[in-house]
Structure 1
Amino acid sequence: MTVMSYEERLTAPRSWWGLAVGAGVSLALILLPLGPLALLAGLVVGTAAGAALVSAYGSPRLRVVAGSLVAGDAKIPVAALGEATVLDRDEALAWRSHKADPRAFMLLRAYVPTALKVEVTDPEDPTPYLYLSTRSPERLAAALRDVRA
């Protein structure tokens, strides 16, 4: 029996890096009255801070390793999980808005249009399901099935 491993990083879209540059330009313009050195420092510090925020927001990973699903900082044994449902763009939108349960664990990134909904079967856990933004919901569901088998 081979155990399929899965790994994905939910990186922010390239266009978001323009926001980091915009933050630097904005801070530079705010500091413009203080002189050219302050302008340069504002540009560097603002861009670095914006880039750090974009990078941090785009850093969560989804992994299936050693019988566990690791989603961001959460680690859940696959034995505590039930059926995985692949959500297309429309269903993912519905499950992160009007169908959402406030008790659910959501690793949500709005820039990732598809997702996987995984039932939690552990009776001790009040979490009804996991909502996991993923660019490859079919592959993640297959990896969970393979680990469970």
Structure 2
Amino acid sequence: MADQCQRAHAQTYRERLSPGFSTWLIALGSGVACFFVAAPISIPAGYVVGVAAALIVGVVLFATSPIIEVTEDVLRVGRAQIERKYLGHAEAFRGEEARVAAGPALDGRAFMCFRGWIQPKFRVQITDPADPTPYWIASSRHPERVAAILNTEQDAAPASRHLGE
């Protein structure tokens, strides 16, 4: 039983949408700005305040970065999750296709998790008739991998899922 529970929650894919290099420069810049605010009082205080501000901004940026996780049973994007049995076809987008999918072609009812520093996106259809959300769309550095995992396991999983029910 424990083996079955452990297998059911086995992680297939995990990605943290952590900030890119340019966003970390913003954390550094906030530290420099705080240094200049505190430096007229005292140079050592300026260093302390500047380093503390940069660290705080960096920790907040990292801690609030959503995680995409695909397990055998669940897709999690940030704090939202959905059972895999309610997922349809998944697609990956890069470049202009990603911009269009997240812009002009976007359905306002969709669940969205975008990060400005990650251009590529993946989209997965929702098949639950009780859910008004047509699809989930999210930023990902590896959207093709996410889509392939969701599509491959979606095709193979239904037969094994219903054996225990």
Q: TM-score range by the shorter chain?
A: 0.7 to 0.9
Q: Is 1:68–2:74 an aligned residue pair?
A: yes
Per mean C-alpha deviation after superposition, the further-off stretch among 92-101 and 20-29 is: 92-101
- Opposite residue 8 of structure 1, the aligned amino acid is E
Equivalent residue, structure 2, for 1:10: 17
| 1:55 corresponds to which of 62, 78, 87 | 62
Flag as ranges the 4+ runs of structure 1 deviating above 4 A.
none
Report the 3-state secondary structure (helix = DSSP H, G, I; strand = E; otherwise coil) of the residue aligned with 1:34: coil
Equivalent residue, structure 2, for 1:130: 136
- Is there any run of 5+ residues in structure 1 with no aligned partner, and where? none
Cα deviation, residue 146, structure 1: 2.8
Report the 3-state secondary structure (helix = DSSP H, G, I; strand = E; otherwise coil) of the residue aligned with 2:92: strand
Cα deviation, residue 16, structure 1: 2.1
Q: TM-score, normalised by structure 2?
A: 0.79
- Opposite residue 21 of structure 1, the aligned amino acid is L
Equivalent residue, structure 1, for 2:93: 87
Cα deviation, residue 130, structure 1: 0.5
Correspondence 1:22-37 to 2 at 5 A = 22-37=29-44
Change (3 A) 1:119 1:22: same
Distance 1:137 1:40 in 2: 41
Task: Give deviations 1:98-126, integer Å, cap 9, x for gaps.
Answer: 22222211111122221111111111111
Cα deviation, residue 4, structure 1: 8.6
Distance 1:88 1:15 in 2: 20
| 2:126 corresponds to which of 120, 126, 142 | 120
Does structure 1 conserve the Cα–Cα contact (< 8 Å) formed by 2:72 and 2:84?
A: no
Cα deviation, residue 38, structure 1: 2.8
Equivalent residue, structure 2, for 1:20: 27
Cα deviation, residue 44, structure 1: 2.1
Equivalent residue, structure 1, for 2:83: 77
Q: TM-score, normalised by structure 1?
A: 0.87
Equivalent residue, structure 1, for 2:163: none
- Opposite residue 67 of structure 2, the aligned amino acid is R
Q: Report the identity percentage.
A: 34
Count of aligned positions: 146
Distance 2:11 2:45 in 1: 53
Does structure 2 conserve the Cα–Cα contact (< 8 Å) formed by 1:4 and 1:147?
A: no
Distance 1:5 1:41 in 2: 42
